[in-house]
Amino acid sequence: MKPIYLDNAATTRVYPEILNELAEIAGDAFGNPSSVHSEGRKARKLIEDSRRNVSEILGCKPSEVFFTSGGSESDTWALYGAAHAPGNKKRTLITSCIEHKAILSCAAQLEKEGYKVIYLPVDADGIVSKKALLDSLTDDVFLVSVMTANNETGVIQDIEALADIAHSRRALFHTDTVQGVIDTEYDLEGSNIDMLSISAHKLHALKGCGALAVKHGVNLCPMVYGGAQEQGKRAGTENLIGIYSLGRAAQIIKRDRLDIISGRRLLTARLETALLERIDGIKINSAASKRVSGISNISFPGVDGEALMLNLDLNGVCASTGSACLSGSVEPSHVLLAMGVPKRIAVGSVRFSISDDNTEAEIDAATDIITETVRKLRRISNY
């Protein structure tokens, strides 16, 4: 039986219409985009067309889009690049305690270099405290970085309000929207958001590509040195195929956004409603919060999350206990713990993440498998 793939927050299948175009693109546009001859110009046009497509879903100018290797590089560049920007004398970074590992690891590195990092708390619903941000802001803060949508719970933050608060003390504002770009319509031109990170493989495009949108006037030091690619900010011959796939995914999202959101929301509700009806004692984490349309984080008391995930895999359902970047960790989710979820409950939590290529039949089959697997594991544990 074909596996039922419910781990789209970790990565997504490439859209078939993109996949069908890649071989032709790879064979036809093989030139170096920095070369001035006809083959180079052909490759350059594909990149600039893709840059324009990405800018249209982010509400920014094409010249404000810089292609990277993915979300982690984009996040690191935003934080590290702002900290080490020429002329920056401020030494404090503010972020939240529920960020992706790419942000938290970079923040930890900056702390080792002598920077001060303030980690904003969240409430029981996973919402970052605006009051804590207001209370933490000083003139020494060079950047506030808060993710748009959490990769484990799907909770959407009030990014515009947080950005306004940051700007009230002349701090830059960055958001990791790797999980939020489909559900959120951005307008970088008309907002106080200064930088925004996205990743191609979370949007049905290829792995190994992402982008950082940087508003004109924001000063960052480069992370990769060498040639003059990406306006001299990010050296290295461009990943043409990855960039093309991201640009095409942006076109599809712009065209089909409402249908994608509606479809994912219906399937997520179908899964949650059925599981709540059939399994006693479970909890949808952050159920009361505004969430992206495809992520459902569910706690199953009496069940170990890793055991549940592995048994689901054996029965044809792909899910995860949290971020793919923390795969192999036996510790409970730092996100759920920050929300006040007891450790004994957090260890029994599984994330199901749904895409627009899932079907009602898959959700119904997955519900049967999840229900039976939880019951079996509870019998074993005498819950």
Q: Give the span between the Cα atoms of 318 and 355, in whole angstroms.
A: 13
Mean pLDDT of 114-129: 97
Each residue's pLDDT tens digit, 278-324:
999 999 999 999 999 999 999 999 999 999 999 999 999 999 987 55
Residues with a known catalytic role: 325
Each residue's pLDDT tens digit, 138-170:
999 999 999 999 999 999 999 999 999 999 999
- Please provide residue 176's backbone torsions phi and psi, each rounded to the nearest 5 degrees: -85, 110
Res 323: pLDDT: 54
> 83-89: long-range contacts at Cβ-Cβ below 8 A with a sequence spacing of 24 or more?
83/110, 83/113, 83/115, 83/142, 83/143, 84/221, 85/142, 85/219, 85/220, 85/221, 86/219, 86/221, 87/219, 88/142, 88/219
Maximum C-alpha span of the chain: 71
Res 247: pLDDT: 98
pLDDT of 328 higher than 90: no
Res 27: pLDDT: 84
Which domains does the chain carry? Answer: 4-12+257-381 (3.90.1150.10), 16-252 (3.40.640.10)
- With cut-offs at 50, 70 and 90, classify the pLDDT of residue 373: very high
DSSP letters of 208-231?
Answer: S-EEEEE-TT-----SB-SS-TGG
Q: Give the span between the Cα atoms of 182 and 201, in whole angstroms.
A: 13
The CA–CA distances, whole Å, from 108 to 27, 92, 275 equal 43, 12, 39
Res 30: pLDDT: 86
Mean pLDDT of 56-72: 98
Each residue's pLDDT tens digit, 254-266:
999 999 999 999 9
Residue type, 24: E
Mean pLDDT of 196-219: 98
Q: Give residues with Cβ within 8 angstroms of 277, minimum separation 6.
A: none
Residues 370 and 270 sit within 8 Å (Cβ to Cβ) = no
pLDDT above 70 coverage of the chain, percent: 98
pLDDT of 325 higher than 70: no
pLDDT of 245 higher than 70: yes
Q: Give the span between the Cα atoms of 192 and 159, in whole angstroms.
A: 9
Res 338: pLDDT: 97
Nearest to 341 by CA among 353, 333, 351, 350: 333
Other CB atoms within 10 Å distance of the CB of residue 202: 26
Mean of the per-residue pLDDT values of the chain: 95
Other CB atoms within 10 Å distance of the CB of residue 151: 29
pLDDT of 267 higher than 80: yes
Each residue's pLDDT tens digit, 1-53:
799 999 999 999 999 999 999 988 888 888 999 999 999 999 999 999 999 99
Q: Give the span between the Cα atoms of 55 and 247, in whole angstroms.
A: 9
